[in-house]
Every structure is written in structure tokens, then in C-alpha cells.
Amino acid sequence: MQPQQLPLRDIHLPEPIGWWPPALGWWLLLGTICGLGLALFLLRRWLRKRRKEPKRIARREFEKLQTEYQQQRDPKMLVEKISILLRRLYISSYPRTEVAGLTGEAWLEFLDKQLGSPQFTQGHGRCLIEAPYQANVAINVEVLLELCQTLMNK
């Protein structure tokens, strides 16, 4: 028999590989990317919550101070406790090296910077550094409380 007469077919190529379903490696890559995205989302959410925690605690303590003031009506005690509360809040929220050493005018300037207006250096907030050294404290308590409430809500 001659080769031209043999019932042979020409070489045929396999069908091209389709894009679906992806290979196992692509599924693993997709799962890894989704897992990392979820982990990043949860980490950012946790860090945001952790960063807001000192303010939430400070607001609760501030409410207690207001209640205590309503009972005792001692402005000197109120000013001292507000000063301590604000210092604790900002030492918890900022690096200790930035806040812990601030006293007097520097402390008021820091509070003004947080508030965005000069209410501490030039306004009612000035009593935070003056009132503890006075025998009789004459301040506008309502304005001070409102100022501190605004500061803690920023």
C-alpha cells in the first residue's frame, strides 16, 4: 500500500484553553487578596476605634464632673478636675513627649490648637492655669463647661 492511499488525517491541534474556570493558582491569589483586604479593613477599624476610645472615656468623666459640680458648686474643684481630665485625655491621645511637659501658656496654646480658636489663651479657658492659685475663684462655669465640651467633641 502506498502512503498516499492510507486513511490518515492531518495533524490537528487541541482546542484553545478557555479563560473560565481559572486555574487553582488564580483562585488562591484572589482568596489571598480578599483576605488581606478584609484584614486591612478590620485593622483600620480597630485602630480608629482605639484612637477614639480616650475621648469617649473623657466625655463620660466630664459628665460625672458636671454632675459633681451641680451637687457641690465648687468652681475651684471643677477647674482643677477639668484640667486634670484634659491633660489625661491628651497624654493618652498624643505622644507623651509632646504633651506631658506642657505647662502654663504652652499648655493653653496646645489646647487652642486642638480647638482651632484662642479660647484658652485669650478667653475663658485661661482659668485652667489661673484658678488653682486663687483663694476665691470667680469664673463663668457654664462657658467653661461648654468650651471643654466643644474641645472634647473635636
Q: How confident is the model at residue 51 (pLDDT cuts 50, 70, 90)?
A: confident
Q: Above 80 in pLDDT, residue 134?
A: no
- 134 vs 23, residue with greater confidence: 23
Question: What share of the chain in percent tops pLDDT 90?
Answer: 47
pLDDT of residue 130: 83
Q: How confident is the model at residue 129 (pLDDT cuts 50, 70, 90)?
A: confident
Average pLDDT over residues 40-61: 91
Q: Which residues of 39-61 are buried (b: 16+ CB within 10 A; e: fewer)?
A: eeeeeeeeeeeeeeebbeebeeb
